[in-house]
A and B are shown apart, each in its own frame.
Chain A
Amino acid sequence: MSVLISLSKVTKTYKLGDDVEVSALRGVDLNINEGEFVAIIGPSGSGKSTLMHMIGILDQPTTGTVELEGKNISKLTEEKLAELRNKHIGFVFQAFNLLPRTSALENVELPLIYSGDSALVRKQKGEESLRVVGLGERMDHTPSQLSGGQQQRVAIARALITKPSLILADEPTGNLDSKAGDEIISLLKDLNKQGNTIVLVTHEREIAEQAKRIVEIKDGQIISDKKIK
């Protein structure tokens, strides 16, 4: 198992006003390997979101290094980061973040527009991706015509479409009832079985326990990191 993403001695400090500084991360070391299903858990304000941003290369550390497949991303331009996110990371958000009044298929195709794929390839991959999450029959539906669980499946299909190295799910069940939430978790489990690497960020222990490894963060530091199965 090769290392997919590696954080070493990562700190992140936010400036609030002129003098006040907030340390969101205080020296985090974390390796995530290919094929893992990792849950990151911690109360709000623990630095869990900041950690997620580092893993999703949405943000860069104040000190320390973040390596994606052995490559240091700390010094890259915003353009280059956008390219890497497009290629390597699939995002699933709590609020689904689908484009309104836009069909499921077009929503799923979105990342491929930015990787420059042709309309034909996009359509083909989009349909395939929607079938994987079980929405092959609802490709033309817009978000408002879909249930919350279905909307989150569309978002997962969108994350899958670029065949990313990592799927990063930020509280994916937070806006769903427990039944729809369970379905999403079992979908993520299935995707992991098929070889996808998944990082799940949550504040609910129950949901974290569905993963194969739980990383617990508090006050900007990892306080425990254990495999459960």
Chain B
Amino acid sequence: MIPIGEIVRLSIQSLLRNKTRSILTMLGIIIGVSAVILLVSIGQGLQNYITQQFESLGSNLVIVLPGKVGGGGGGFGAPNIAGSKLSLGDVDKLSRIGGAVESVGAGIEMPSSVSYLGKTKYTTTAGLTAEYQKMRNLTVSSGRMMSESDNRAGRNVVNIGPGIVDSLFGGANPIGKQITLGGQKFQVVGVLSKIGSGGFGIDVNSFVVLPLTTAQKLFGMKSVQAIGIKAKDKDSIPEVIRQVKKELSKRLKEDDFSVVDSSSLVATINQILGVVTLALGGIAAISLIVGGVGIMNIMLVSVTERTREIGLRKAVGAKPKDILIQFIIESVTLSVVGGGIGVLIGFLGALAINQFISTTVTFWSVALAFGVSAAIGVIFGVAPAASASKLNPIDALKYE
């Protein structure tokens, strides 16, 4: 009986004798495996990033958003920010609930530009109440936060992120300086620390924060875009949601607002991104199948091309089983080596893309892509190998 190690050696030898063809054949698998790993890592990275963003919003937070935002029922709609019917009056009413409601804050966000001495920076400006700044875990590294009295008075004061300090002031101390925002002068009273959340996908580093009422005047808005309600503890969140809904329903229609808690929002978004990740992985997996068909094609050609070789091997004593195993091992070697290279490229690719958008390589995607490629080698290798093993040595030797 011929040992399996010997057949493996034979298989690898014959692959090495056709280097170019072997590499080209592997290419399909390499592309398939690296695409699966890469796309899944992007989807997963996005998921982690968004979860992080929500977590930095603070815990035990109930958020009121304008319009219908999915959560229950599996659907997910974007909040209707432009048509917001939420107002500061609602904020006051909600803060009078008391009980499990610890504090209530509100905010709006608008893209805008800030300038100082001819230098301009485009960024996102937020108008936040003092309470909402706390909910977002915003703090200052120098100067002071904006107070409730700044908000009540609608003073033209501003907190800016460290990135704005760098680009407008070249790193010099900006406290007390006047910057221009939407044609009005604002006094810088504080520089934000790097922690906390600027909002979804917005870096606190280049954030500009005004008192809410000041921002409303500046942008000519009467409504607020979001109301944050901090619950006393995790257990009281359902009660808070119930009370908030009850209070708002007095004035607004059911479709005008949505009440969500941060953890259920995260769960919903994760669910959606999970589906997107799977879809991306699935599309990439198709290229794996195509790669497998490529292997099968080449192996079939190889059987035809090597008919004489197979005949000779059989004449000198190879059993059908020996030929079968040799051809299966050849295709498995192609797919496993291709899969290995694909994993490596997928990893490096994810690392490179991570410079621009965050990627997370997951173990399951690597295991799946590699496992599928190895399985493809077996599945698509069996048919050609079986036809090789069934060749009659006489016919094979006569074959020109």
Contacts and interface: CB of A to CB of B under 8 A. Distances in A.
B186 to A, nearest CB: 78
Given A79-B321, A93-B397, A116 B3 contact: yes
B319 A56 contact: no
Given A58-B393, A100-B17, A102-B17, A82 B318 contact: yes
A113 B319 contact: no
Contacts of B393: 58
Nearest to B3: A116
B172 interface: no
A114 B315 contact: no
Interface residues of B, number: 24
Interface stretch (A83-91, A128-136, A198-206, A210-218): A83-91
Interface in A69-93: 78-79, 82-83, 85-87, 91, 93
Contacts of A83: 317, 319
Interface in B2-25: 2-3, 6, 10, 13, 17
A42 to B, nearest CB: 17
B317 A115 contact: yes
B55 interface: no
Contact of B316 (A78, A111, A116): A111
Contact of B320 (A78, A86, A113): A78
A38 to B, nearest CB: 19
A59 B2 CA distance: 23
Interface stretch (B65-73, B110-118, B220-228, B305-313): B305-313
Most buried by B among A82, A101, A158: A82
Contacts of A91: 312, 315-316
Interface string A153-182: 000001000000000000000000000000
Size bin of chain A's contact surface: 20 to 34
B314 interface: yes
Interface in B352-394: 393-394
Nearest to A100: B17
Contacts of A56: 315
A73 to B, nearest CB: 14
A113 B2 contact: yes
Nearest to B18: A101
Contacts of B317: 82-83, 85-87, 111, 114-115
Contacts of B203: none
Nearest to B6: A113
Interface in A191-229: none
A97 B315 CA distance: 11
A26 B82 CA distance: 97
Contacts of B311: 97
B315 A116 contact: no
A110 B313 contact: yes
Contacts of B321: 79
A82 B319 contact: yes
Nearest to B315: A91
A3 interface: no
Contacts of A116: 1-3
B322 interface: yes
B319 A79 contact: yes
B13 to A, nearest CB: 8
Interface of B: 1-3, 6, 10, 13, 17, 308-309, 311-322, 393-394, 397
27 contacts: A58-B315, A78-B319, A78-B320, A79-B319, A79-B320, A82-B318, A82-B319, A82-B320, A83-B317, A87-B317, A93-B397, A95-B308, A97-B397, A99-B309, A101-B17, A102-B13, A102-B17, A111-B316, A111-B317, A113-B2, A113-B6, A114-B2, A114-B313, A114-B319, A115-B317, A116-B3, A158-B316
Minimum-distance CB pairs A-B, first 8: A86-B317, A114-B317, A111-B316, A97-B312, A101-B17, A82-B319, A79-B319, A114-B318
